[in-house]
Chains A and B, each alone.
Chain A
Amino acid sequence: MSITQQHRKNIIALYCIIFYTLMTFKWWGGLFLYQLEPIIYQTRFDFFTWQFMQTGLHTWLLQHKVGLYVFDALFYSMPLLYWLLYSRSRLWGTVIAIIMLVVNWVYIQVYTLYPTSSIESFIGWLLFPVLFITTSLRSFYFMLNGLRYFFLFLFASAGLWKLVQQGIFNVDQMSGVLLYQHKEFLTSAPDHWLSHFFYWIIIHPMVGYLIYLLGTLLELLFLTGFFTRKFDRILLYAFILFILLDLFLMRIYYWELSPFMITLLYSRYRRPSALR
């Protein structure tokens, strides 16, 4: 079955549902810019970011709190605005998508300079507006599949890096990772059951190694997606499992990557004919 305009509308709606579910969660968690009211930033090893920082926008916002409200309002209104306008006018949809691309880029550059999360996890919000800029259904199909390949690359490269950088050949890897990742938790609450659990893995390096190995295999599983779409549903479940295990074991939340799930959900649809 070919992808249709109805699928496109469903994809946009699904994107909005994911975006606004996460938005609600972030607001509840006090993770909006206006709630964080940052006063410091940190330069990262990113050439693009250095050029962006030359504008001084990140330091201006530290002095002008009202700007934080404006930035939050812009970033969190874009998908809704796009959803409202796209169904009325394709042209306006494209215009808003271009604005969304710029807003997302600026917001995420600034947001991740402050004490929040690393910019890598926000890659979905940086790239998805490109999908919405497309006017024809065929271009939409190609960009959707392009994003799918990128998502596959993201996970597969994480698995391959573990081979290249040799983390996978180190039996003590998971013990080292857990100590580094949870040192503040372990030292502040040494008697908590989670600390006991982490320590148990740390002193049983083979158990930890097995977890690390399974994680690596899970990441490498995404390589299959480059050759066939048959296993995309399995990859979707693998991604959900990855998110849940990371949250429990590493206390890292990768849910900002969840819009990429859409690319696996809709990969079974073929490209539309040239006339549509």
Chain B
Amino acid sequence: MPMFLNLLYKHSKLLFVLVMVFISGQLFINVKHGLVFSPFYHYGMYSQVMRPQNEYLVPEIVVDHVLLQGKDFTPWTWDKILQPVNYFTNIPASNALNKNEVTRLTPAFLSFNKTSNFIQPCDYPGFMDWYKTYLTGILGRPVKTVEVASRKYTFSKGKLEPSPITFTLSSQCQ
């Protein structure tokens, strides 16, 4: 690596500076470990300590009174089904990020103060209408009804056991 940089320096000062800026940016973001700055990211890949939890909140998607099952879909299609639900429930957190961090950390001369670019409403009926059409496309058949809720599961005796406690999607985004 040092030899590579040495040869690069001899070849082109401009390229050398660009590469050094990139290396410095990447190392800074890694050492600081918090806010990132594209294209400098952390590549932790599950490096934080994770232990089995006692409880998990799991979204359940019921189409025409039948629960969608992960086994019936490829990993990427299963992600396609789950991701919009996760994004919808995460709208309050996404909005809060703007309120707490974006406005605080963005210098005044960079801020256009257009909150509409950061804040989304919890439009539950609008989302469900869209999601129904979206699932119709994925499942390849007409969808009449869609119900989405999150159920609390407890991890005991090596299994995730369902509890009767559920949260409707609309209650998770307010």
Q: Which residues of A contact B (CB under 8 A)?
A: 29-31, 35-43, 45-56, 58-59, 109, 114-117, 119-120, 123, 126-127, 138-139, 142-143, 145-146, 149-150, 153-155, 157-158, 161-162, 164-170, 172-173, 175-177, 179-180, 182-190, 192, 194-195, 199, 202-203, 219, 226, 247, 251-253, 271
Residues of chain A within 8 A of B43, CB atoms compared: 120, 154-155, 157-158, 161
Residues of chain B within 8 A of A194, CB atoms compared: 71
Check A187/B118 contact, CB under 8 A, given A119-B38, A177-B46: no
Residues of chain A within 8 A of B71, CB atoms compared: 185, 188-189, 192, 194-195
Residues of chain B within 8 A of A40, CB atoms compared: 84, 87-88, 91, 120, 127
Which of B71, B110, B126, B138 lies at the interface centre, i.e. has the most chain A CB atoms within 10 A of its CB?
B71
Is the CB–CB distance between B47 and A56 below 8 Å? no
Among B38, B47, B75, B76, the residue within 8 A (CB) of A109 is B38
Residues of chain A within 8 A of B160, CB atoms compared: 179, 183, 186-187, 190
Residues of chain B within 8 A of A35, CB atoms compared: 137
Having A146-B8, A192-B71, one finds 14 other A-B pairs with CB under 8 Å, namely A38-B84, A39-B127, A50-B105, A109-B38, A138-B11, A161-B44, A166-B49, A177-B46, A179-B56, A183-B56, A184-B59, A187-B58, A188-B67, A202-B52
Is the CB–CB distance between A157 and B30 below 8 Å? yes
Is the CB–CB distance between B12 and A179 below 8 Å? no
Is the CB–CB distance between B112 and A127 below 8 Å? no
Residue of A nearest to B91 (CB): A40
Check if B108 is an interface residue, CB within 8 A of chain A: no
Residues of chain B within 8 A of A167, CB atoms compared: 46-50
Is the CB–CB distance between A172 and B52 below 8 Å? yes
Give bound CA distance, A39 to B131, whole Å. Answer: 9
Is the CB–CB distance between B37 and A188 below 8 Å? no
Contact size range, B = 35 or more
CB-CB nearest 10 A-B residue pairs: A176-B50, A185-B70, A115-B83, A251-B75, A161-B47, A189-B71, A48-B38, A203-B158, A192-B71, A188-B69
A39 CB to nearest chain B CB (Å)? 5
Residues of chain A within 8 A of B111, CB atoms compared: 54
Interface secondary structure of A, over-half rule: helix
Check A190/B44 contact, CB under 8 A, given A42-B94, A170-B51, A185-B70: no
B12 CB to nearest chain A CB (Å)? 6
Give the tally of cross-chain contacts (CB within 8 A).
224
Is the CB–CB distance between A139 and B44 below 8 Å? no
- 14 sample A-B contacts, Cβ–Cβ < 8 Å, listed by A number: A30-B80, A42-B94, A46-B38, A47-B36, A49-B38, A109-B38, A115-B80, A115-B87, A139-B11, A142-B15, A154-B43, A157-B30, A167-B48, A192-B70
Is the CB–CB distance between A145 and B4 below 8 Å? yes
Is the CB–CB distance between A37 and B134 below 8 Å? yes
Is the CB–CB distance between B41 and A120 below 8 Å? yes
Give bound CA distance, A153 to B27, whole Å. Answer: 10
Is the CB–CB distance between B86 and A115 below 8 Å? yes
Check if B171 is an interface residue, CB within 8 A of chain A: no
Is the CB–CB distance between B114 and A56 below 8 Å? yes
Give bound CA distance, A115 to B103, whole Å. Answer: 24
A76 CB to nearest chain B CB (Å)? 18
A226 CB to nearest chain B CB (Å)? 5
Among B78, B80, B114, the residue within 8 A (CB) of A251 is B78
Is the CB–CB distance between A179 and B155 below 8 Å? yes
Residues of chain A within 8 A of B1, CB atoms compared: 149, 226
Check A56/B116 contact, CB under 8 A, given A42-B90, A127-B39, A202-B52: yes
Residues of chain A within 8 A of B90, CB atoms compared: 42
Check if B19 is an interface residue, CB within 8 A of chain A: yes
Give bound CA distance, A177 to B53, whole Å. Answer: 10
Residues of chain B within 8 A of A168, CB atoms compared: 47
